[in-house]
């Protein structure tokens, strides 16, 4: 996969609860501070998760190549591993699609501070199966295609930018954001799973193409 190949997978990272939480934080008592803390936590977690996946995949490639294994065979094996991860990810997203409404704990975000928001980002993006699988596939695919670490940055930056949309709406619209943010929250709750499936299907098709070359 060429440069920016993992870029669309950032949509899968933020779809659902992470984006809904960002909307609630933009409506909190200290929206700017809480949102910035949330974005900082998200940036650290996504950068760390994709980096670990990239390093692990790169290490496996180097060790197997040094042991005499054919490089093309190794790359094809990594491709099929990513395919398996994406299939599991698609199933998880589909199974969770009927979970309507935000979690009960999310109402507590009204009084969240930046430190709490940062910890929340770490929990949501680091522990949710969909996000863990997405970071795994993004890092592994980048390493498999001989791309240096910094090629992960567009994926990380787009993830953070998408999570920043509620804060940007607040900054741009001011009081009018009170009418826009609830609609954004409802849309994310109802339809984000379908967008995620489309993006996963696209990335899956590209990965299968690489594996069959």
Q: Domain-by-domain residue ranges, the chain?
A: 9-212
DSSP state of 101: S
Residue 4: predicted pLDDT: 57
Residue 118: predicted pLDDT: 92
SS3 148: coil
Query: In the chain, what's the furthest Cα-to-Cα distance?
Result: 64
By the 10 Å C-beta count (0-12 exposed, 13-18 middle, 19+ buried), 88 is classed as middle
Question: What pLDDT, in 10s, does the model give residues 87-143?
Answer: 998 888 888 776 655 555 666 777 788 998 999 999 888 888 888 888 999 998 888
User: Does residue 3 surpass a pLDDT of 60?
Assistant: no
Cα separation, 131 vs 212, whole angstroms: 27
Residue 194: predicted pLDDT: 77
pTM: 0.82
Residue where the block lists tokens 């928001």: 117
On the CB side of 56, CA atoms within 13 Å amount to 14
Could you give the percent of the chain with pLDDT greater than 70? Answer: 90
Residue 158: predicted pLDDT: 93
Question: What pLDDT, in 10s, does the model give residues 88-101?
Answer: 988 888 887 766 55
């Amino acid at each position: 996969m060429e440069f920016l190949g993992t870029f669309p997978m950032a949509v899968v990272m933020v779809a659902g609860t992470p984006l809904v939480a960002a909307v609630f934080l933009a409506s909190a008592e200290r929206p700017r501070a809480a949102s910035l803390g949330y974005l900082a936590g998200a940036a650290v977690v996504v950068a760390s998760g994709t980096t670990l996946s990239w390093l692990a995949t790169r290490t496996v490639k180097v060790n197997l190549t040094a042991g005499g294994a054919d490089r093309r065979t190794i790359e094809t094996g990594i491709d099929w591993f990513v395919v398996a991860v994406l299939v599991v990810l698609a199933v998880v997203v589909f199974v969770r699609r009927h979970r309507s409404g935000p979690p009960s704990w999310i109402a507590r975000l009204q009084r969240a501070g930046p430190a709490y928001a940062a910890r929340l980002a770490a929990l949501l993006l680091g522990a949710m199966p969909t996000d863990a699988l997405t970071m795994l596939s993004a890092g592994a695919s980048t390493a498999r295609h001989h791309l240096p670490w910094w090629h992960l940055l567009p994926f990380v930056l787009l993830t953070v930018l998408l999570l920043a949309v509620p804060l940007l709406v607040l900054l741009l619209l001011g009081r009018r954001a009170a009418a826009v943010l609830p609609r954004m929250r409802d849309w994310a709750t109802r339809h984000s799973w379908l967008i995620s499936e489309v993006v996963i299907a696209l990335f899956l098709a590209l990965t299968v193409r690489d594996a069959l070359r």
